[in-house]
Amino acid sequence: MHLGVDLDGVLGDILAVSVRALNDYFGREVRVEEVRDYDLSKVYGLSREEIREFFAARQDLLEEMPPMPGAGPCLQSLSRRCRVTIVTARPPFQEDMTRNWLARHGFAYHDLVLVGSHDKREACRRAGIEVFIDDRLENALMLASEGLPVILFAAPHNRSPELPPGVVSLEGWETIYAYLRCCLEGAPLAGLGGGL
């Protein structure tokens, strides 16, 4: 199996550091559990330009980002049993910083692709990825519409009452690992068509 994994919001808890920094800067008290939209400009009532400028000036947040609980050990085990490619929307110029962060936290993987856009369809197709893990609902729907099964990394901002066939929402790395282990052992997977 070739597993594709998103970085921000899946391997690293980008929301925790982003919300803390935005609260400090704009004098707000937003809690992570209250973030119901992937687009933080809507959460903070700011323009997209203001948010873009804020994060362009705070690339240190990407370095400070803590790993998502359980992500390191789970990816370590998975990378011994299947191919793992990290596919991120980050721009290519952030590659060194991204590889350093992954190394610093002991992440095991085979390839890293920095797409520079949220549209990961072409990158996944080219790499031959067979199942993808992402936390952005729009990404999950886009990839699933191409026939790529997606595990949606459950978060308050991606709750969706109804998911299309080919997308399952799972909470946390332990659950995802258990789910993928069943797949690697040949069990049919509920919700993803069983044909991985």
Contacts to Mg ion by CB under 5 A: 6, 8-9, 135
For Mg ion, the closer of residues 42 and 81 by Cβ is 42
Instruction: Give me the residue whose beta carbon is nearest to Mg ion.
Output: 9
Of 4 and 9, nearer to Mg ion (C-beta) is: 9
DSSP of 81-103 = HSEEEEEESS-GGGHHHHHHHHH
Distance, in Å, from the CA atom of 117 to the CA atom of 139, rounded to the nearest integer, reads: 11
172 vs 184, beta carbon nearer Mg ion: 172
Distances (CA, A) of 171 to 134, 155, 174: 12, 8, 8
d(Cα 51, Cα 21) in Å, to the nearest integer?
A: 12
Question: What minimum distance in Å lies between the beta carbon of 89 and Mg ion?
Answer: 7
Give the nearest distance from C-beta 6 to Mg ion in angstroms: 4
How far apart are CB 194 and Mg ion at their closest, in Å?
26
Closest contact distance (angstroms) between CB of 187 and Mg ion is: 27
Closest approach, Cβ 10 to Mg ion, in A, equals: 6
Measured from the CB atom, is 160 or 188 closer to Mg ion? Answer: 160
Question: Tokens representing 63?
Answer: 């370095």
Q: How far apart are CA 16 and CA 12, in angstroms?
A: 9
Residue of 134, 132, 80 whose CA lies nearest to 109: 80
Nearer to Mg ion, 63 or 188 (CB): 63
> What is d(CA 181, CA 178) in angstroms, rounded to the nearest whole number?
5
